Structure 1
Amino acid sequence: MKLSQVFRFEIAIAALALSGAIAACNAPMETESEMNASPGPTAEEVERETEEAIGTTANYTQAEINQYIEQTERQIATYDERIAQLEARAETLGAQAQAELEAEIAQLERQQEELEIQLAQLRSASSDAWGEIQIGIDAAIKDLDSALERAESQF
């Protein structure tokens, strides 16, 4: 292609692009009456939908709390079994080791009772307060797990 042909080709491309831009600028814009022709939701509809959303969120939160409570109850049942195994093991030990393990078991039972108290608080708490109580329960579970593992490995 000669230079003049390339130049004419570039001018033709630019003209096409410019005509497209001009056409877009000349497109009719929506008037205010056209924008208002399809009104949005009414205040009552917004209020109803907001209440439904709040109800759905509350139901979800309560379901989440119930699931957490069931999970914690299963964990407590596991602790009962593990403590019972330690009690059976204590009976097979000599006097001093038995006394030490029984002291550990008493401490484990106190920790488990504290966990059960926190779980009872969760059952009666509002959904707004459950996050704080959950943090305490999670910490109690972690501490009890560590104490049980230590007692099981030591005796």
Structure 2
Amino acid sequence: MKRSLLKTLSISILSLGFCGSLMAQDVSKTVTTNAIKIENAYTRATAPGQQVAGGFMKIENKGAASDQLVSASSPSAGEVQLHEMAMDGNVMKMRQVKDIAVPPNGAVELKPGGYHLMFMNLKGPFAAGQTVPVKLKFAKAGEVEVKLPVNAMGAMHDKH
């Protein structure tokens, strides 16, 4: 009886561990759809009342034709814009762009100080440990859904 109970308990614990690892993978370490592969997606926690946040990731195009990220949306924000940080003379400025090119058999990184998603009019704070669902729309590949893990405020990710 004790062995049977111990065996059942052990199987249950192993099953829960397996389910937990599957759920952790769902938090978008990598998402691949058609020719587009999204890796290392994340955002950062926000302060109460903060109305904007950045979104970052690597977008890989495994196809033979170029593609463009043309828009993004999220139920967590009133609007999601595509942005670029660029030098204007001696001043770093942020500006909205109409699309972000993804070269054939190549990649583009959305990272601090470069291209990124800009979540505007947040519907609530982004808290560390949560995920932010985002729908990316590509000119050729169509829509790709990804969940951005929320890192702690000020946390860096993959040397960015």
Structures share fold, TM-score greater than 0.5: no
- Please identify the structure whose Cα radius of gyration is greater: 1
Higher helix share: 1
TM-score (norm 2): 0.28
Which of the pair has the greater relative contact order for Cα pairs under 8 Å at 6+ separation? Answer: 2
TM-score (norm 1): 0.29
